[in-house]
Structure 1
Amino acid sequence: MGGNITNSNYRNSRARKPLVKAIDLFCGVGGLTRGLEKAGIKVGLGVDIDPACEYPYEENNAAAFLQKSVADLTADDLADSVRGASYTLLAGCAPCQPFSTYQQKLGPSDERWNLLSHFGRLVEELRPDLVTMENVPNLARQDVFEKFVARLEKLGFHVSFEVVNCVDFGVPQHRNRLVLLASRLGPVALKRPRAKAKTVRQAIGELPKLKAGEFSLADPLHQAAELSPLNLKRIKASVPGGSWKDWDDELIADCHKRSTGKTYPSVYGRMEWDAPAPTMTTQYFGFGNGRFGHPEQNRAISLREGAILQSFPKSYRFVPPGAPIYCKTIGRLIGNAVPVKLGEGIGKSLIAHLEEHAGSRRNAA
Structure 2
Amino acid sequence: MKNRSIACIDLFCGAGGLTHGLIAEGLDVVAGIDVDDACRHPFETNNASRFIKANVEQVSSKRINALFGDAEIRVLAGCAPCQPFSTYAQRYDVVGSPRWALLKHFGRLIKDTRPELITMENVPSVTKHAVFDEFVEALEDSGYNVHREVIDSSRFGLPQRRRRMVLLASLLGPIGLIPSTHERPVTVRSAIGRLPPITQGGTYAKDQLHAASKLSDLNLERIRASRPGGTWRDWPKHLVAECHRRETGHTYPGVYGRMVWDEPAPTLTTQFYGFGNGRFGHPEQDRGISLREGAVLQGFPDSYSFLPHGAPIQFKALGRMIGNAVPVVLGRVIGQSISAHLDFEAEQPTRITTGAVADVALKSLVA
TM-score range, shorter chain: over 0.9
8 Å Cα contact 1:124/1:155 also seen in 2: no
8 Å Cα contact 2:173/2:351 also seen in 1: no
1:100 to 65, 71, 86: 86
What TM-score do you get using the length of structure 1 for normalisation?
Answer: 0.93
Confirm whether residue 271 of structure 1 aligns to residue 259 of structure 2.
yes
Partners of 2:200 and 2:181 lie apart in 1 by: 37
CA positional deviation for 1:364: 6.2
1:221 to 209, 216, 235: 209
2:175 to 188, 193, 200: 188
Q: Quick one: structure 1 residues 110 and 334, their matched pair in 2 at CA, closer, same or farther if it must change by over 3 Å?
A: farther
2:329 to 330, 341, 346: 341
1:131 to 98, 101, 118: 118
What residue in structure 2 maps to residue 74 of structure 1?
60
What residue in structure 2 maps to residue 204 of structure 1?
192
CA positional deviation for 1:112: 3.1
**Which aligned pairs between 1:95-174 and structure 2 lie closer than 5 A?**
95-108=81-94, 111-174=98-161
What residue in structure 2 maps to residue 4 of structure 1?
none
**SS of 2:80's equivalent?**
coil
2:302 to 277, 302, 314: 314
Q: Which 10-residue stretch deviates more, 111-120 or 282-291?
A: 111-120
Confirm whether residue 22 of structure 1 aligns to residue 8 of structure 2.
yes
8 Å Cα contact 2:153/2:330 also seen in 1: yes
**SS of 1:118's equivalent?**
helix
CA positional deviation for 1:179: 0.5
Please tell me the residue identity of whatever aligns with 2:40: E
Please tell me the residue identity of whatever aligns with 1:261: G
What residue in structure 2 maps to residue 89 of structure 1?
75
Q: Which 10-residue stretch deviates more, 80-89 or 235-244?
A: 80-89
Q: Quick one: structure 1 residues 183 and 256, their matched pair in 2 at CA, closer, same or farther if it must change by over 3 Å?
A: same
8 Å Cα contact 2:8/2:77 also seen in 1: yes
What residue in structure 2 maps to residue 260 of structure 1?
248
1:281 to 261, 266, 269: 269
Please tell me the residue identity of whatever aligns with 1:190: L
8 Å Cα contact 1:168/1:192 also seen in 2: no
Long gaps (5+) in structure 1: 1-12
8 Å Cα contact 1:185/1:361 also seen in 2: no
Q: Quick one: structure 1 residues 337 and 106, their matched pair in 2 at CA, closer, same or farther if it must change by over 3 Å?
A: farther
Partners of 2:12 and 2:170 lie apart in 1 by: 20
Q: Quick one: structure 1 residues 92 and 364, their matched pair in 2 at CA, closer, same or farther if it must change by over 3 Å?
A: closer
Long gaps (5+) in structure 2: 354-367
Partners of 1:142 and 1:105 lie apart in 2 by: 11
What residue in structure 2 maps to residue 243 of structure 1?
231
CA positional deviation for 1:110: 5.2
Q: Which 10-residue stretch deviates more, 241-250 or 72-81?
A: 72-81
8 Å Cα contact 2:172/2:351 also seen in 1: no
CA positional deviation for 1:104: 4.3
Q: Quick one: structure 1 residues 59 and 361, their matched pair in 2 at CA, closer, same or farther if it must change by over 3 Å?
A: farther
Give the RMSD, CA atoms, in angstroms: 1.5
CA positional deviation for 1:66: 1.1
What TM-score do you get using the length of structure 2 for normalisation?
Answer: 0.92
Partners of 1:216 and 1:192 lie apart in 2 by: 38
8 Å Cα contact 2:273/2:280 also seen in 1: yes
Partners of 1:106 and 1:361 lie apart in 2 by: 48
Aligned residues: 351
Partners of 1:111 and 1:58 lie apart in 2 by: 30
Per-residue Cα deviation, 1:308-355 (whole angstroms, up to 9, x for no partner): 000001111111111111000000000000000011001101100110
CA positional deviation for 1:363: 6.9
Q: Quick one: structure 1 residues 76 and 228, their matched pair in 2 at CA, closer, same or farther if it must change by over 3 Å?
A: same
Per-residue Cα deviation, 1:120-176 (whole angstroms, up to 9, x for no partner): 111111111100010011111111111111221132110010110111111100011
1:300 to 288, 304, 309: 288
**SS of 2:172's equivalent?**
coil
Confirm whether residue 47 of structure 1 aligns to residue 29 of structure 2.
no
